[in-house]
Amino acid sequence: MRAAVSKSGGSPWRCAGAVWLLLFSAIACAGGNSRVSVDAELTALLAPVAPELRPAAARIAGMPRPAFTTEALPSRRAALRQFEQPPLPDIPFEKRTIPGPAGAPDVTVYLINIGGGQRPAILHTHGGGYIAGSPAQDLPRLQRLAQALDCVIVSVDYRLAPETTWQGSGEDNYAALKWLHDHAAELGVDRQRLAVMGESAGGGHAALLALMARDRGQVSLIFQMLIYPMLDDRTASTREVPAPLGELIWTAEANRFGWRAFLGQEPGTTAVPAAAVPARAGSLAGLPPAFIAVGGLDLFVQENIAYAQRLIAAGVPTELLVLPGAFHAFDVVAEETALARRFSEARVRALREAFAQRPE
């Protein structure tokens, strides 16, 4: 699940770190055996983490881990919204409502850096485990990316699970992609240079969008940018994940809950429709070139590597970046680190190279 950034410009994990320190002090005063136990557990948790990411990992480890339940979702969503940042004042941004899928509500999109000449565009889908989040959580980051690439970004406020399952949110995203394609001239977009991009669950949505665009034949995509994408419902449901993967931020429990909500049924079974899960797609041939980036400790690292291998086997040009010692969303909660900067720079470079290629 994508973490947010506080309005003060710092990370919410800094507040969590203060809570962790108080909690840790209380445990230390409770008795030597408890202190030794907590020390040992924290040491084991941090051992595989890249050294520069360990302070952030320690703060995260001290956060309370309430159970994932449908009843708790409203409070989780509200907590995420309180850390949203306002848009940057010098990069154009607006919210707009566009027609939704047939028989469904209209869709809200965030339009970033529109206008000007024939520029490339990205259709962006936000993270949040399929159950939370909105484009507002990513707005300043997307504005900076649009400025760096001199491109347009359209981010979709798709309907969330479990209120809406995969068919609804997938169609919301496709409606936005088709609208971007059809209104390219109005938005200052070169419709020959359209990409999809997302992080975590947004990466799963972006992968599904690439599959939908291929199968429907209405929109041609030049690239798919998948950042630690959530691609396979079998991860941590019917497919065991070895330690130390998925110990930080997005865990096995969270993954099962997110997929259950998104699918409207138990994940991992043979009854799950292939159309709902990128990793279950029968063929990946004919998809646009891909860039997949993930941390080596991310719960999704194995499924991301497997998806990259399938893309390559299907003849799809694919770049895979796996950063050792990095956990889920590390680039957000430790964005000041060299590892996070390397991760972000690789994303920008891959998109810039993709946009430089003009289809015949």
Active site residue 37: no
DSSP 172-215: HHHHHHHHHHHTHHHHTEEEEEEEEEEETHHHHHHHHHHHHHHH
Point out the catalytic residue in the list 200, 205, 233, 344: 200
Sign for the CA dihedral angle at 236, 239, 292, 282 comes to: negative
Looking at residue 227, the DSSP 8-state letter turns out to be E
Active site residue 233: no
Nearest to 124 by CA among 74, 87, 177, 58: 177
Point out the catalytic residue in the list 124, 181, 205, 328: 328
Structure tokens at 313: 């086997």
Point out the catalytic residue in the list 172, 232, 233, 298: 298
Sign for the CA dihedral angle at 154, 157, 160, 166 comes to: negative
Residues 147 and 91: their CA atoms lie apart, in Å, by 7
Residues 314 and 190: their CA atoms lie apart, in Å, by 27
Provide the 3-class DSSP secondary structure of residue 226: strand
Query: Side-chain half-sphere of 240: how many Cα atoms within 13 Å?
Result: 2
Active site residue 200: yes
Please give the positions annotated as active site. Answer: 200, 298, 328
